[in-house]
Structures are given as structure tokens and as C-alpha cells.
Amino acid sequence: MARLPRLNPIGIPQHVIQRGNNRQACFSSEQDLIAYAGWLKEYSREFDVQVHAWVFMTNHVHLLVTPQADAGVSNMMQAIGRIYVRYFNREYRRSGTLWEGRYKSCLVQSEEYLLQCYRYIELNPVRANMVADPADYYWSSYSCNGLGVKSNLVTPHAEYLSLGRYPKQRCERYRALFRSALDGELVDEIRRSLNKGLALGSESFKQTLETRFQRRVTEAPLGRRKLEESRM
């Protein structure tokens, strides 16, 4: 059965994750990280995708992005995936796949949920016990969003800009969001939405998406889900 094309509505943020195949490392050196960051910058511009938050871990990548053109995120991820695999295979004299199939993503409601996704993404190294403070991890957008470091990769979302009138004020209020841990239920909801391609937001947000695009962005009722699985 052919897979449906990605739901890539212009102007609606997406949380994206790309994992290494079988959770193997997709970054083995600083040069690998530099190369990926360069292509992310290049292709986000080419396909008109705004990048709000990101983190590069050893075996996966998280991005928070908003497409400004049709199929922007899909085109960007395909382009990065292809060129990076060629680079990685050449660099390490290997062949075959690197990524765990297609990237996973979920649409994100700006109100309430977007800044939570910022936090979820930039706290990845802390949850992995790699650092105690997100500011101590170089390969994420926290230094831009929380410390005001200039970047030509990151585009602040309107929800981030609403934190304050001035950059210093926004950074201070953004850092304040990290003084408390993410709610465990919210973490589970973000992960479930990502892995299943569901929308992350209020019920009215999800209903609006389903009506507008005629696509399910919520979990099917239990009875229907079992019927769909039996047909697979």
C-alpha cells in the first residue's frame, strides 16, 4: 500500500526527528556535525523553511521548523539526507543506508505547545546525561534562543518573539522556562505524536487540521485501529 505524502501545510510548525538506522551513530566527529549544519542551513534556505530550534545528538537530529513553501520540509529533509549519506559513506568507507527510514514529524500548535517543543529539543542532551545545563551543549540552538548568540541558521518564531520586546528580555524569559522540568505526560505526548505522525495541540487544533486537509492527525478509535491493523 503506497504511503500518503507528508502533510506539509505552509505556516504550521513541525517537530522533526531523523534517527540513525538501528540507532547507530550518524555523527562520529565534529566535522560530521559541521557538515550537517552547513547543509541544513543551505537547504532550509533553498526550500524556504524557517528553523526555530535544533539539536544534533550522536544518533539522531531534532528540528523545530516552519515551511514557507509547499512541501518545504519534505524537500529539505530529502536533500539533506541524500547528500549527508553520500558524505558519510565516503568519509568512513562504508555503503548502504544510514537513516532509519523516513524522518518522523508532527504538526505543532503554536499556542501552548511550541515553546514546549523548543524546550524538549534543547533539553535532549540533559535528558541523555551528557550535560547538566543545556548551555553546556554546543550542538543545539540553546545558545541562540537562551543566550542571544547570533546565528544565520535560526529564525525566531512569533511565539518566541512574544516573550519580550527586546532581545535581552526574550533571552531572560526563555531561560526562565528551563528552570522547571518538562512535565512527564507532556514528554510522552510529544514522543507519541512524533512517532505516530499525530498533531500536537488542543482538540480544536486537531479537528481543524482534519477538516481542512481531510487527513487523520489523531489516533484512530481502538476498534477502528484494530480493523486497520488487521488489514495490513
Distance of CA 188 to the CA centre of its chain: 15
Q: pLDDT digit string (tens) for 151-190?
A: 999 999 999 999 999 999 999 999 999 999 899 999 999 9
Q: Is 31 helix (H, G, I), strand (E, B) or coil?
A: helix
Res 3: pLDDT: 60
Q: How far apart are CA 109 and CA 26, in angstroms?
A: 30
Q: How far apart are CA 162 and CA 170, in angstroms?
A: 8
Q: How far apart are CA 34 and CA 78, in angstroms?
A: 18
Res 101: pLDDT: 87
Q: pLDDT digit string (tens) for 97-149?
A: 999 988 999 999 999 899 999 999 999 999 999 999 999 999 999 999 999 99
Q: pLDDT digit string (tens) for 3-62?
A: 667 788 999 999 999 999 998 999 999 999 999 999 999 999 999 999 999 999 999 999
**What is the per-residue burial (b if ≥16 Cβ within 10 Å, else e) of 117-141?**
bbbbbbbbbbeeeeeeebeebebbb
Q: Is residue 93 over pLDDT 80?
A: yes
- The mean pLDDT value of the chain amounts to 92
pLDDT band at 224 (very low <50, low <70, confident <90, very high): low
What pTM does this model have?
Answer: 0.92
| Whether 148 contacts 167, CB under 8 Å | yes
Res 79: pLDDT: 97
